[in-house]
Structure 1
Amino acid sequence: MFEAKFQTFVDETSRGDSAARLKALRAELKRQGLDGFLVPRADAHQNEYVPKCAERLAWLTGFTGSAGFAVVLEKAAAIFVDGRYVIQVRSEIDAKLFKPLDIAEITPVKWLCDHARPGARIGYDPWVHTSAQIERFAKALAEKKIELVPLDANPIDALWKDRPAEPKGAVTIHPSRYAGESANSKIKKLRPSLKDADAALMSDPHAICWAFNIRGADVAHTPIALCFAWLPKEGAPTLYIDDVKLAPRTRAALEKFLTLKAPQSLIDDLTEAGKRGETILFDSATAPAKLVETLRAAGGKPRVNDDPAALPKAIKNEKELAGARAAHIRDGAALTRFLAWFSEAAPKGGLTEISAAEALETFRRENGDLRDISFPTISAFGEHAAIPHYRVTKKSDLKIGRGVYLVDSGAQYLDGTTDVTRTFVVGLASRQLREHFTRVLKGHIAIARALFPKGVSGAQLDAFARRALWEAGLDFDHGTGHGVGSYLSVHEGPQRISKLGATPLQPGMILSNEPGYYRAGEYGIRLENLVIVEKREIKGAEREMYGFETITLAPFDLNCVDKNLLAREEIDWLNAYHAQVRKTLSPLVDAKTRKWLREATRVL
């Protein structure tokens, strides 16, 4: 009935392939006189979604998560993942080949220090590591007399016989009606942040696309063009991008305010800047060590700091905010149609995790504005819902029956990016499930209702989402919220709500509000809306105060709510939110869905 256009399901990588590939890599390392090799899940821009040709970690190990790191030695190998993937990694790799480890418990550099012999030579590809990463490794390894060796070519690339080609996605101009500000205006605002540097080498494609008002099609789910940019203190910027990505009209529009060059010119230009003794600003989060070291070797002065566009990009202008609100209304209507359909179809049987994900994408496509899904849909039933970043495969695809179903999904529209999670029960909710669900809901409401003074960071708010769980001796192992871009990445920094969220929240920032709880082997719960930081007027306030505007519109499953655990103000918030959902979405859905929506948003 439903057919997904964008949804991609994980291809199973046979463990036999991993064994042969690991053996071949070790032989190549030995040929080059190396004792080990570092394999991050990264491309030359540290993107979350990388082109297929950069999925070296998946090719070698079988692990398909969005973050991971492997270390290969002659007699041992390990793969490191964070709390999102500790369950998934064990199901995808051969633990006889790669020891799966939680990076919170032991880091790759610590493991390498413990397992590599003194005098060992460990190779790395300087294009897929930042200079800060390499400095941390080099400092720790030097104490063990272990040498880090930069390589001219990644040895995996030579072994990967059917490695996909570099992407050549077309670049488009992002219209001003969505961007809200011209590229020239943005460039002018960015230059003061260079301070006494001669130029900034921009390596984050999200920042470049935002600054120059372009979008691309080089990676799945995020409309970016893989490129680098040179932002000088004076004069026209330079965009280093493959010419094949530029149609004549796009090229003409860009050449009005910048210079276009081939990516191969970047090393030469950095070398020349180094010879002139220039100070160049590099992004600490994304700049390849290769570029930083090229400038330094030529005599230049690299300054590794924040990308000048990172914070301005995070603070959305009025047109971007209006677009986000409009996108969420359309997206909410599509999601609500799916939830109404699911509530009828799931109890009948026959649904699977994959078919449900395909159905949701179809409902989104039917609104006519969908450009892509913003990340692979997490469609998880039962025990799979307890894996925070579960990705269904054809092998793991569960039939949906009585129990908990969690769906975390999002969409890319020209006017905004969405991300929403709902958890529903098929059948009756147990008393335990209702308690856990309600405690997660209390945390969600606490963030939604939060008031805080100017200067407060996401780290200071994170505990709001956890208090009700902590009171029952429970918690979750991911952040409470991440930043979201404007028709860009669904995971945007520097803003976030987490224990590590140090950036002060400012009006115009968009973040997710997504506390959860995961009971391994049984079920998982996550409740996510997107919110906008906004100014709040409080009578008698002595400081500038902020709060959140919730822009996601979709009902929560009231069948999972224990009203007795909610305070009066929490019940009032939930009823008011559901009234807004009902009022806004009812005119946009069919009569059958409208009837379901009235019941789903009933007064509690």
Structure 2
Amino acid sequence: MSSYADRLQALRTQLKSDNLDGFVVPLTDEHMSEYVGSYAKRLSWLTGFDGSAGAAAVLPEDAAIFTDGRYTIQVRAQVDGDLYSYESVPDTSIAEWLRANAPEGGRIGYDPWLHTQAWVKQASKALEARGAKLIPVERNPIDAIWVDRPEPSRAHLVTYDEKLAGRSSADKRHEIADWLEKEGADAAVLAALDSIAWTFNVRGADVSHTPVALAYALVGKDGTADLFVNPEKITDEVRQHLGNGVRVHDRDAFESFLQTEMKGKSVAVDPERSVAAIEQALVAGGAKVIARRDPAVLPKAIKNEAEQEGHRQAQLRDGAVIAKFLKWLEEEAPKGELDELAVAARLYDLREATGALKDISFDTISGAGPNGALPHYRVDEKSNRRLEMNSIYLVDSGGQYLDGTTDITRTVIIGEPTDEVRDRFTRVLKGHIAIARARWPEGISGGRLDSFARQYLWEAGLDYGHGTGHGVGAFLAVHEGPQRISPPGGAYAGTDEPLRAGMILSNEPGYYKAGEYGIRIENLVLVKEIDVPGAEKQVLGFETLTFAPIDRRLIDVSMLTDEERQWVDDYHAETLEKIGPSLEGEEREWLERQCAPLA
């Protein structure tokens, strides 16, 4: 099927054959992942939308695609408005749309391996208003029409060095066992891929740019575990690493195991990270389901000393790459021959030249001029633009290294900036500095820090449509929960999660002028305890982990306070100190100029 119209029509034909009046197509996979393997990219195949958050609903006559504010422009560029109506989340939801549009008495299909049980209940209740029902399907109808659908990855699992992990898998499993004892549960389901990788000290290559393997796990209150993974993916080395305390099963046996082996047991299931089919299988088999957060989530987010030190080393290695890249860009971009793809390729080559790169941590956002105004832009041959004189270029990128995951954004000017651009950049910089310098009492959430970054844009009647910070894994997912720095009640979960010492987050305020340019400044930061004399509560703050120069040509120094100006000078001095030894000759001289005190 060559066109998206053909694919939509084929789906409607298949639904009719399946005795269904509609179907819901989420972006995620059976592990509720943000980034999914190629085999699970059903939404992209059906609609053309390739963002990291979205869903579609298809009825006999109507269809809609649902995205949040990050993708307002992108979804209109990628998805045909004659085929799908554009629906904005959280202003509306799939359930609300179905309540208004589903056929009276209709049968709306859903794949229980792609939705949470909470969503199932919400959508079912909404459909009751139209006398319609939500129907679980045994086979996803898109899989029936996607004739060249890729197979799931068969890549082997690999062990993750305990020196980098900082703890043994047995130690982590026994921590979960202690938690189960307190919760009065017999076992916990681990369905999130990064939780499984972290718990068992293994990594994989089944999802682009995220070193995880397709698997499920059950951890028991005795500290042993059952791991469900394609047996072809387990090498002798991995089997020896897992040890006698981990029983390995075929991934396809997971559902039947829940139905037959958990009877009469209390099983903790994360309602946000586990799909409806897991809870349904447990209930069908006579197990008692206890709704609890995945017990690996919080300890995974709170990095131990080995993980923290690994991150520091990874960020320094990556920062030196960025410095080399920025020097090259400053020299080559004015010649007018560079485009977004070429620049992204150069950055990849520089990272690869370190000899330590395992993968990039996400598709590089390489945005020239108006493309930079799309916060989650991804360049391809069709959208590729040249970098032009007197324009803004935004590059958001990262690397996967054994010792850490990096994520950095720099915005640079090619030529001369306008007064407006310098004003906007400086307001973003002031917000970035406010987060970097923040201090707060223990127990405060990231949602309460978010406005620190936006206040200077708000003063000018401006804002940005994404969160200010997300968690980052240790050679794992570049987007990791539960912590966030985001507006309360927005499109992101985790805004109420207290920030704890050891958590790593991004600090990335921005500003985007549609059709013209985008600005973002992003570093990674580590939450740490701060010694404040006389403090009545433990005070927390951030240690900056990312070091690479900020384009001084875009800074209006007159807009900075003395404290902000000192922060920039101190940051650049530390950048020179930390990554300067990795540079030589002209590159070192260039870095020294970029890191000189502001005039």
Confirm or deny a common fold (TM above 0.5): yes
Q: In the TM superposition, what are the counterparts of 1:142-541 in structure 2 within 5 Å?
A: 142-194=128-180, 195-234=183-222, 236-274=224-262, 276-402=263-389, 403-500=391-488, 501-541=495-535
Question: What displacement does 1:524 show?
Answer: 0.7
**Structure 1 counterpart of 2:122, from 132, 136, 140:** 136
Match of 1:567 in 2: 561
Asked if 1:576 corresponds to 2:570, the answer is yes
Q: Is the 8 A contact 2:471 2:483 kept in 1?
A: yes
Question: What displacement does 1:596 show?
Answer: 1.3
Give the aligned residue type for 2:86. Answer: P
Shifted more, 277-286 versus 395-404: the winner is 277-286
Secondary structure in structure 2 of the residue aligned to 1:371: strand
Taking the aligned partners of 2:357 and 2:325, their CA distance within structure 1 comes to: 15
**Structure 2 counterpart of 1:95, from 46, 57, 81:** 81
Match of 1:25 in 2: 11
Q: Is the 8 A contact 2:155 2:206 kept in 1?
A: yes
Give the aligned residue type for 1:582. Answer: L
Taking the aligned partners of 1:449 and 1:252, their CA distance within structure 2 comes to: 46
Taking the aligned partners of 1:186 and 1:205, their CA distance within structure 2 comes to: 16
Match of 1:5 in 2: none
**Structure 2 counterpart of 1:590, from 571, 580, 584:** 584
Q: Is the 8 A contact 2:177 2:223 kept in 1?
A: no
Secondary structure in structure 2 of the residue aligned to 1:531: strand
Instruction: List gaps (5 residues or longer) in structure 2.
Output: 489-494
Give the aligned residue type for 1:325. Answer: R
Give the aligned residue type for 1:314. Answer: A
Question: What displacement does 1:451 show?
Answer: 0.5
Deviations 1:158-207 (A, max 9, x none): 10111101111111110011001011111111123221111111101100
Give the aligned residue type for 1:316. Answer: K
Taking the aligned partners of 1:55 and 1:259, their CA distance within structure 2 comes to: 30
Match of 2:491 in 1: none
Give the aligned residue type for 2:529. Answer: K
Deviations 1:12-45 (A, max 9, x none): xx9x511111111101111111110000001100
> TM-score w.r.t. structure 1 length?
0.96
Asked if 1:108 corresponds to 2:94, the answer is yes
Shifted more, 227-236 versus 467-476: the winner is 227-236
Taking the aligned partners of 1:312 and 1:198, their CA distance within structure 2 comes to: 20
Match of 1:124 in 2: 110
Q: Is the 8 A contact 2:176 2:223 kept in 1?
A: no
Taking the aligned partners of 1:235 and 1:389, their CA distance within structure 2 comes to: 41
Q: Is the 8 A contact 2:173 2:223 kept in 1?
A: no
What's the % identity of the aligned pairs? 48
Question: What displacement does 1:247 show?
Answer: 1.3
| Alpha-carbon spacing, 1:237–1:522, altered in 2? closer, same or farther (3 Å) | same
Question: What displacement does 1:595 show?
Answer: 1.4
Deviations 1:433-491 (A, max 9, x none): 00000000000000000010000100110110011111111111111000000000000
Question: What displacement does 1:144 show?
Answer: 2.6
Taking the aligned partners of 2:272 and 2:325, their CA distance within structure 1 comes to: 38
Q: Is the 8 A contact 1:317 1:508 kept in 2?
A: yes
Secondary structure in structure 2 of the residue aligned to 1:538: coil
Match of 1:35 in 2: 21
Give the aligned residue type for 1:49. Answer: Y
Taking the aligned partners of 2:534 and 2:21, their CA distance within structure 1 comes to: 66
Give the aligned residue type for 1:161. Answer: V
Secondary structure in structure 2 of the residue aligned to 1:163: coil
Taking the aligned partners of 1:461 and 1:538, their CA distance within structure 2 comes to: 19
Instruction: List gaps (5 residues or longer) in structure 1.
Output: 1-13
Q: Is the 8 A contact 2:403 2:475 kept in 1?
A: yes
Give the aligned residue type for 1:127. Answer: W
Deviations 1:262-314 (A, max 9, x none): 1122122211245x322211122221111111111222221222100000000
Aligned alpha-carbon RMSD (Å): 1.1
Match of 2:492 in 1: none
Q: Is the 8 A contact 2:503 2:526 kept in 1?
A: yes
Q: Is the 8 A contact 2:163 2:306 kept in 1?
A: yes
Shifted more, 227-236 versus 308-317: the winner is 227-236
Q: Is the 8 A contact 2:102 2:127 kept in 1?
A: no
Give the aligned residue type for 2:6. Answer: A
Aligned length: 589
Give the aligned residue type for 2:502. Answer: G
Asked if 1:543 corresponds to 2:537, the answer is yes
Taking the aligned partners of 2:517 and 2:223, their CA distance within structure 1 comes to: 57
Taking the aligned partners of 2:223 and 2:528, their CA distance within structure 1 comes to: 36
Taking the aligned partners of 1:228 and 1:84, their CA distance within structure 2 comes to: 31
Shifted more, 130-139 versus 559-568: the winner is 130-139
Taking the aligned partners of 1:269 and 1:358, their CA distance within structure 2 comes to: 46
Give the aligned residue type for 1:586. Answer: G
Q: Is the 8 A contact 1:482 1:497 kept in 2?
A: yes
Match of 1:9 in 2: none
Q: Is the 8 A contact 1:86 1:101 kept in 2?
A: no
Give the aligned residue type for 2:353. Answer: E
Taking the aligned partners of 1:21 and 1:115, their CA distance within structure 2 comes to: 21
Asked if 1:60 corresponds to 2:46, the answer is yes
Give the aligned residue type for 2:21. Answer: D
Asked if 1:74 corresponds to 2:60, the answer is yes
Q: Is the 8 A contact 1:354 1:392 kept in 2?
A: yes
Shifted more, 345-354 versus 102-111: the winner is 102-111
Match of 1:8 in 2: none
Secondary structure in structure 2 of the residue aligned to 1:508: coil
Q: Is the 8 A contact 1:429 1:560 kept in 2?
A: yes
Shifted more, 297-306 versus 490-499: the winner is 297-306
Question: What displacement does 1:235 show?
Answer: 5.2
Give the aligned residue type for 1:461. Answer: L
Taking the aligned partners of 2:179 and 2:4, their CA distance within structure 1 comes to: 46
Taking the aligned partners of 1:360 and 1:185, their CA distance within structure 2 comes to: 39
